C-alpha cells in the first residue's frame, strides 16, 4: 500500500527520501515521486513503476541535490490507474503547495466540483490532487492553518505530508486512519508512514494519533490536534534493528522470514509460560480472574492469514477451555450488526496493526461495549493503541507481502490464550504443564521442517505446471489447508482453494482431473483415516496427491503420491510445522516459476483501505 517519506533538516533531502522509498517498497506500489524545495519553486518528479525508474529520471547530477526539505511517496492505485500523472506528490494551485497522501478522501467528487467551479484545473484522477488544491484555495501564508481547515472539510482517511513554497524548510503532516511516524534526529526530522523508512537514521519516534497535525522544521516539532491546540505525544524507542529489515543473505525476504520462525516463535513465547503454575501469563490482556471466569464468548476478527490463524484459535479455545469461540472475517463484522455482549472478548488479529477492515471491526466492538484486545506484531500501530490491551507477537518486522512468521507467532499466542482460559476453568495444573511442554516444543518442530528445505524444493518441481490446486484438511488441519492455499495463490499465481476434506465432494470434486493436484493434510491423529479416504477419492479422479504426513506414518506415506513429513506431535501444535512445510512448498513453486515473491502483483503488505 502507499508509502510516505518526508524530510526536513540540515543535509540533502533527496538521498533520505529515495532510500526511505526503497525501504517502503515491500509494501507494494505502482508508481513513485518526490517533491523538494528549490529557490524558484517546488520541484516535483514522478515515475510510473519502481523507485529505480524515479532514480533514473532524476539522473546522477541532478539540480535538486542541495535541497534540504522534501516529501516523497510510493502509490498503490485506488483512484485512477497507475500513471505518472496520478503518482504523488500532487501540486496545489500553481505549485505553491505539494502534498503526498495515503488513504481515501471519500467526498472528493463534491470537492472537485467546487474547486473546478473556483477555477482549478486537475491534471490527475486522484482524490489527493483534490486535497492539494483545497489546501491551496485556503492558503493565506500559513500552511498549518490551511491544512487544518482543509482536513476539517474532508471525509475519509488520510496520512499526509505537505509543504508550501513560501515556507521553506517546513513540513505539515497529519493523520486520520493512515499511520504517520516522526523520526527525531539531531538537527532533522524524518517522517514516514512506516518506521522501517526511518530506522537507518534514528530510533527515537513519535507515532501520531488520529486527528493529530504536526508542524515540523528541522528538529522542531509542534503537534496539535485538528480541533484544539498543542498536545504532547510520547516518544518511543524503535527496538528492532536495521539489519532485521534487510534480507540477511537470503534470496527473498519471504525465505528469510520462513527461516526466522524458530527464533520468532521463541520470542513470542519468551516469559509468557509459567511451568510452575502450568499457566500462561499474557498480562497484556489485562483480564482480572473475575473477567476470565465470566468470559462468555471469544470473538476473533482478522483478514487473510490473520483470520486463518484465528480459526486455529477458535478450535483451541473451545477444545481446551470449553469457552465458546468464533472467528469472523473482519470486513463483515461491522456491516452485519453482530450481537456482542459485555462479557464477550473480541480479539483482533493483525500483523501490521493497520488493516482498515480489522480496525473498523475493533471500533465497532468497542462501541458495542465488548472487552477488546489486539494480537498485533507492529508496536505502536493503530490497532495496538486503540485496543489498549493485548499481546504483541514480537515476531520482528515482516517485510514480505506474503505473511509467514506472523502466522506462526499468532498461532503460538492463541494457543497460550487457550491455555490461560482453560486454566481459569477446567484444566488441571498437571495438564497445563503438559500443554506448556507441547507449546515449548514448537520451535524445534519447525526447525525439523526447515532442515528439509532442499527435499521440499525437489517436491516443488513436480507441482509447477498446474493451473489449479486444492488443499484439504480436517479439524486443526482445516485452517492449515486455507493458509496453504492462500500462500500458494498469492505468490505463484496458481489458482488454489482450501477446503475441508469432507466438503470436497460437495462440489469442487467436479474439477478434479490429472492436471489438478490435491495437497492433503494427513497428519496422524483423529480424522486421519477419513482424510486418507478423501485422498483415495481424489486419486480415483486422476489427481496427483501430495500429502503432509507424520514422520514414520507408513500407512499415509503408502497412500499419497508424494509426501513431506512433519515430526510427530499433537495435532494442535502440528498446525505450525505443517504450515511451515506448505510455506516452503509455495515459496519453491513460485521461485521456480520466476515470480516476484516478495512483492506479488496486485497485493499490498498492509491493506489500509476498505
Catalytic residue among 46, 50, 528, 605: 605
> Smallest gap, in angstroms, from Cβ of residue 174 to ligand AGP?
23
> Smallest gap, in angstroms, from Cβ of residue 350 to ligand AGP?
3
Q: 521-549 burial, b if ≥16 CB within 10 A, otherwise e?
A: bbbbbebbeebbebbebbbeeebbbbbbb
Q: Which whole-number Å values give the CA distances from 602 to 27, 78, 158, 354, 412, in the listed order?
A: 11, 11, 21, 18, 30
The residues near 326 (Cβ < 8 Å, ≥ 6 apart) are 297, 298, 299, 300, 314
Of 1 and 512, which has the nearer Cβ to ligand AGP?
1
Of 282 and 383, which has the nearer Cβ to ligand AGP?
383
> Smallest gap, in angstroms, from Cβ of residue 483 to ligand AGP?
8
| DSSP-assigned letter for residue 230 | B
DSSP symbols for 394-445: ------SSS--HHHHHHHHHHHHHHHHHHHTTT--HHHHHHHHHHHHTHHHH
Say how far apart CA 306 and CA 312 lie, in whole Å.
10
Parallel, antiparallel, or unpaired for β 181-184 and 204-207?
antiparallel
For the beta sheet containing 324-329, the strands, ordered from the edge strand earlier in sequence to the opposite edge, are 324-329, 297-302, 344-350, 371-376, 390-392
Of 358 and 559, which has the nearer Cβ to ligand AGP?
358
Contact indicator for 159, 179 with CB cutoff of 8 Å: yes
> Smallest gap, in angstroms, from Cβ of residue 305 to ligand AGP?
3
Of 484 and 517, which has the nearer Cβ to ligand AGP?
484
Say how far apart CA 25 and CA 1 lie, in whole Å.
9
Say how far apart CA 441 and CA 428 lie, in whole Å.
20
Of 148 and 409, which has the nearer Cβ to ligand AGP?
409
Say how far apart CA 27 and CA 29 lie, in whole Å.
7
> Smallest gap, in angstroms, from Cβ of residue 259 to ligand AGP?
17
Q: Tell me which residue of 286, 293, 575 sits closest to 422, measured CA to CA.
A: 293
Q: Which residue is nearest to ligand AGP (CB)?
A: 304
Q: Residue 182 in 3-state DSSP?
A: strand
Of 279 and 352, which has the nearer Cβ to ligand AGP?
352
Distance spanning both ends of the chain, measured CA to CA: 12
Say how far apart CA 396 and CA 405 lie, in whole Å.
9
Give me 271's grid cell: 516469559
The residues that touch ligand AGP, with contacts defined as CB under 6 A, are 303-306, 350-352, 355, 358, 401-403, 490, 606-607
> Smallest gap, in angstroms, from Cβ of residue 61 to ligand AGP?
40
The residues near 487 (Cβ < 8 Å, ≥ 6 apart) are 402, 404, 582, 583, 586
Q: 33-67 burial, b if ≥16 CB within 10 A, otherwise e?
A: bbbbbeeeebbbbbbbebbeebbeebeeeeebeeb
Catalytic residue among 2, 303, 538, 569: 2
Query: Counting beta carbons within 10 angstroms of the beta carbon of residue 173, is it exposed (0 to 12), middle (13 to 18) or buried (19 or more)?
Result: buried
> Smallest gap, in angstroms, from Cβ of residue 29 to ligand AGP?
15
> Smallest gap, in angstroms, from Cβ of residue 556 to ligand AGP?
28
Of 165 and 487, which has the nearer Cβ to ligand AGP?
487
Catalytic: 433?
no
Say how far apart CA 557 and CA 549 lie, in whole Å.
7
Of 210 and 490, which has the nearer Cβ to ligand AGP?
490
> Smallest gap, in angstroms, from Cβ of residue 403 to ligand AGP?
4
Of 71 and 415, which has the nearer Cβ to ligand AGP?
415
Catalytic: 303?
no
Q: Tell me which residue of 351, 350, 261, 251 sits closest to 597, measured CA to CA.
A: 251
Would you please indicate which residues are annotated as catalytic (active-site) residues? 2, 605
Amino acid at each position: 500500500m502507499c508509502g510516505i517519506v518526508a524530510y526536513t533538516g540540515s543535509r540533502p533531502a533527496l538521498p533520505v527520501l529515495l532510500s526511505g522509498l526503497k525501504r517502503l517498497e515491500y509494501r507494494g506500489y505502482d508508481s513513485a515521486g518526490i517533491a523538494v524545495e528549490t529557490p524558484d519553486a517546488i520541484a516535483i518528479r514522478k515515475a510510473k513503476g519502481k523507485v529505480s525508474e524515479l532514480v533514473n529520471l532524476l539522473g546522477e547530477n541532478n539540480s535538486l541535490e542541495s535541497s534540504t526539505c522534501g516529501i516523497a511517496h510510493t502509490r498503490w492505485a485506488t483512484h485512477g490507474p497507475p500513471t505518472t500523472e496520478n503518482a504523488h506528490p500532487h501540486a496545489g494551485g500553481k505549485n505553491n503547495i505539494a502534498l503526498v497522501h495515503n488513504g481515501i478522501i471519500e467526498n472528493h467528487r463534491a470537492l472537485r466540483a467546487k474547486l473546478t467551479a473556483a477555477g482549478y484545473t486537475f491534471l490527475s484522477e486522484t482524490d489527493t490532487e483534490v486535497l492539494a488544491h483545497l489546501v491551496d484555495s485556503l492558503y493565506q501564508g500559513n500552511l498549518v492553518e490551511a491544512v487544518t481547515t482543509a482536513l476539517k472539510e474532508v471525509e475519509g482517511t488520510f496520512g499526509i505530508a505537505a509543504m508550501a513554497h513560501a515556507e521553506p524548510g517546513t513540513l505539515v503532516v497529519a493523520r486520520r486512519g493512515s499511520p504517520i511516524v516522526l523520526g527525531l534526529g539531531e538537527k532533522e526530522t524524518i517522517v514516514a508512514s512506516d518506521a522501517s523508512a526511518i530506522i537507518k537514521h534514528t530510533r527515537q519516534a513519535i507515532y501520531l494519533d488520529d486527528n493529530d497535525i504536526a508542524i515540523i522544521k528541522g528538529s522542531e516539532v509542534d503537534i496539535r490536534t485538528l480541533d484544539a491546540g498543542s498536545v504532547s505525544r510520547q516518544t518511543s524507542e524503535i527496538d528492532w534493528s536495521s539489519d532485521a529489515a534487510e534480507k540477511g543473505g537470503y534470496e527473498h525476504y519471504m525465505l528469510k522470514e520462513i527461516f526466522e520462525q524458530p527464533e520468532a516463535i521463541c520470542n513470542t513465547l519468551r516469559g509468557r509460560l509459567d511451568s510452575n503454575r502450568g499457566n500462561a501469563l499474557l498480562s497484556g490482556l489485562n483480564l482480572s480472574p473475575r473477567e476470565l471466569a465470566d468470559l462468555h464468548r471469544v470473538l476473533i476478527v482478522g483478514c487473510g492469514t490473520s483470520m486463518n490463524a484465528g480459526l486455529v484459535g477458535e478450535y483451541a479455545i473451545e477444545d481446551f477451555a470449553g469457552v465458546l469461540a468464533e472467528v469472523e472475517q473482519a470486513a463483515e463484522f461491522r456491516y452485519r450488526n453482530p450481537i456482542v455482549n459485555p462479557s464477550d472478548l473480541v480479539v483482533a488479529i493483525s500483523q501490521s496493526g493497520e488493516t482498515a477492515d480489522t480496525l473498523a471491526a475493533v471500533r465497532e466492538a468497542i462501541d458495542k461495549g465488548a472487552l477488546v484486545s489486539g494480537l498485533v506484531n507492529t508496536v505502536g500501530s493503530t490497532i495496538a493503541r486503540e485496543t489498549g490491551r493485548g499481546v504483541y507477537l514480537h515476531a520482528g518486522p515482516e517485510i514480505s507481502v506474503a505473511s509467514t512468521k506472523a502466522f506462526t507467532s499468532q498461532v503460538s499466542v492463541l494457543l497460550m490464550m487457550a491455555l490461560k482460559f482453560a486454566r481459569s476453568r477446567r484444566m488441571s495444573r498437571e495438564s497445563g504443564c503438559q500443554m506448556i511442554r507441547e507449546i515449548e516444543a514448537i520451535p524445534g518442530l519447525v526447525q525439523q521442517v526447515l532442515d528439509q528445505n532442499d527435499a521440499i524444493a525437489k517436491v516443488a518441481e513436480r507441482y509447477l505446471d498446474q493451473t489449479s490446486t486444492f488443499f484439504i484438511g480436517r479439524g486443526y488441519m482445516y485452517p492449515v489447508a486455507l493458509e496453504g492455499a492462500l500462500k500458494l495463490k498469492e505468490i505463484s499465481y496458481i489458482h488454489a482453494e482450501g477446503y475441508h476434506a469432507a466438503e470436497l465432494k460437495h462440489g469442487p470434486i467436479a474439477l478434479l482431473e490429472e492436471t489438478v493436484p490435491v495437497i492433503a493434510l494427513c497428519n496422524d491423529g483423529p480424522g486421519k483415516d477419513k482424510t486418507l479416504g478423501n485422498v483415495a477419492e481424489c486419486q480415483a479422479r486422476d489427481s496427483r496427491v501430495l500429502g503432509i504426513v507424520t514422520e514414520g506414518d507408513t500407512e499415509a506415506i503408502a497412500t499419497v503420491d508424494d509426501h513431506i513429513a512433519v515430526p510427530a506431535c499433537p495435532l494442535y501444535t502440528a498446525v505450525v510445522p505443517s504450515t511451515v512445510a506448505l510455506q516452503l512448498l509455495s515459496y519453491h513453486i513460485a521461485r521456480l516459476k520466476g515470480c516476484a515473491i516478495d512483492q506479488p502483483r496486485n497485493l499490498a503488505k498492509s491493506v489500509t483501505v476498505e
